[in-house]
Homo-oligomer: A and B are copies of this chain.
Amino acid sequence: MERQILKPTPISGFPEWLPAEKLVEQRFLDRIRATFEAYGFTPIETAAAERTEVLTAKGGLEKEIYALSRLAAGEGEEAETGLALHFDLTVPTARYVAQNYGHLTFPFRRYQMQKVWRGERPQAGRFREFYQCDIDVIGDGQLSIATDAEIPAIIYDLFRELAIGDFVIRISNRKILSGYLTHLGCPDGAIHAVLGTVDKIEKIGASKVVAEIEALGALAPAALDKLMALIATKRSNEELISHLYSVSGNERFTLGVDELAEVTEAVAALGVPDSHLEIDLTIVRGLDYYTGTIYETRLVEHPEIGSICSGGRYDDLASHFIDKPLPGVGISIGLTRLLSSLFKAGIVQASAQSPAPVLVTTLERERTGDYLKLARYLREGGIKTEVFLEPKKLGQQLKYADKKGFRFALIAGGTEFDAGTVKLKNLASGQELTVAVGQMVHVLHQKLAQE
């Protein structure tokens, strides 16, 4: 019987990494997690599926949601499930916190690193499945403004460790501009549109922003001048804060300035240098529910990548699911999109195909047990090790080691076994070193740490 072969092809929007790339992603995931945990965030993981009505509680996203149905249903069974895949981690977290409210300890500091799904039309560059890495601190009724200062510190620690180039965290407070606009006579209904225009200042320039706001007809000419004087002048953080204290505004504006001043001062205490934190009143962030501090992060050399880590403070996380105000502050990293950009820009290279630095080669089949024992000693010494067990010539084994990116090959034949030694071959330099079996773990640790 001829077997039917179904030749597999990639699914647009569902990216999959080759092993070397996945190892990089794993390193990023580990580093992100370590940073989140260093600040006392605890992991949660929510189900991939939510009840459809939970996902649509805020309305408007039906086209982006993947519903689940059973491919075939038994007699008298429904194929429909009433379930759908989550499209972000915010809605599931809101639902989780509301559902487990009585079991959680507030302020609840959680991180969550999971895939999310968006029912986009297949299209180049659009991800339909991607990793999000989120943190939020959620208060029960209230949450100290000092919490907002931890966020830039986390971003700073993380991206310094990831070493993907110079970056700047931009920070602002929504209350400042929205309060100021009200103070300047902008009608409530127009604030959103004006802020949306201000957000584009970097892309379109100040004069186009002026023209667009004029077209909105929401501000008198003198008021518009005042707005532009505030947002279009470059000032250091310190200058800007003291300038803001000299500007007259309403209560909301002043509260925003106070919050921003307190947050930036505390951020400095957490070790973030001014070079990496920039107060920028023009950032707005798309999500409507931010109400105070907002954050963006950009790679200085790669502005085209856009913000690589953003978020902010909100008044109420879960108003659709629980009758309690749950204010919070959080950020999100779109890891799949970030990594994809970093690979494309050549900022990060995938190289080794194995997490192990050492390959034990095998020269004599009847000594298989001895090779396995050598590998065992290495593992017991904390060195990840693969053993090459196929009956191939040494040259082919070393080619395999090169291709997979091992750093050392361990080679031992009759001479070495008789002498109680092994040869360690540095695969980059080609250098060989003979060491006693009892010394090999120690020597390898040294060599691996050196490079």
- Chain A 53-68: CB-based contact to B (< 8 A → 1; otherwise 0): 1101100001111111
Per the bound structure, the CA–CA distance linking A65 and B68 in Å amounts to 9
Say whether A68 contacts B85, CB under 8 Å: yes
The yes or no answer to A69 lying at the interface (CB within 8 A) is: yes
Residue from the list B49, B115, B269, B355 in contact with A40, Cβ < 8 A: B355
For window 44-81 of A, CB contacts with B under 8 Å fall at: 44-54, 56-57, 62-74, 77, 81
Most buried by B among A319, A359, A384, A385: A384
A368 to B403, CA, bound (A): 53
Chain B residues lying within 8 Å of A320, measured Cβ to Cβ, are 3-6
Cα separation A5 to B43 with both chains bound (whole Å): 26
Asked if B144 and A49 sit within 8 Å, CB to CB, the answer is: no
Indicate if A10 sits at the interface (CB-CB under 8 A): yes
Q: Which positions 13-64 of chain A face chain B at CB distance < 8 Å?
A: 14-19, 22-23, 25-26, 37-54, 56-57, 62-64
Minimum CB–CB distance for A218 against chain B, Å = 25
Do A49 and B19 touch across chains, with their CB atoms under 8 A apart? no
Report whether A44 and B71 are in contact in the complex, using a CB–CB cutoff of 8 Å. no
Bound CA–CA A14/B96 (angstroms): 13
**How many of chain A's residues touch chain B, expressed as a range?**
35 or more
Cross-chain contact A84 with B71 (CB below 8 angstroms): yes
B356–A389 CB distance below 8 A:
no
Q: Given the complex of chains A and B, what is the CA–CA distance between A10 and B92 in angstroms?
A: 12
CA distance A63 to B76 in the complex (A): 13
> Shortest CB–CB separation between residue A335 and chain B, in angstroms?
12
Alpha-carbon separation in the docked complex, A266 to B365 (Å):
12
**A19 with B104, Cβ < 8 A, contacts A40-B384, A271-B376, A385-B38 known:** yes
Give complex CA distance A157, B378 in Å.
14
- The proximity string for A residues 249-266 relative to B, scoring 1 for CB distances below 8 Å and 0 otherwise, is 000000000000000011
> Contacts of A431 on B, CB cut-off 8 Å?
none
Query: How far does the Cβ of A52 sit from chain B's closest Cβ, in whole Å?
Result: 7
The answer on a CB contact under 8 Å between B265 and A5 is no
Whether A71 and B77, one on each chain, are in contact in the complex, defined by CB atoms closer than 8 angstroms, is: no
- Assess the B73–A63 pair: CB atoms within 8 A: yes
A68 to chain B: closest CB distance in Å?
Answer: 4
Binary interface encoding of chain A residues 387-425 relative to chain B, with 1 for a CB under 8 A from any of its CBs, else 0: 101110000000010011000000000000000000000
Contact with B along A291-314 (1 / 0, CB 8 A): 000000000000000000000000
CB < 8 Å neighbour of A51 from B11, B271, B373 = B11
Further contacts, 19 of them, CB under 8 A, given A40-B354, A41-B355: A7-B321, A7-B322, A8-B95, A8-B98, A11-B83, A14-B49, A16-B96, A19-B43, A19-B44, A19-B104, A19-B110, A48-B48, A67-B69, A70-B119, A77-B121, A105-B400, A105-B403, A153-B376, A269-B370
Query: Which 9 pairs of residues, A with B, have the shortest CB-CB distance?
Result: A40-B386, A269-B369, A62-B72, A14-B47, A40-B356, A8-B99, A65-B71, A144-B389, A70-B119
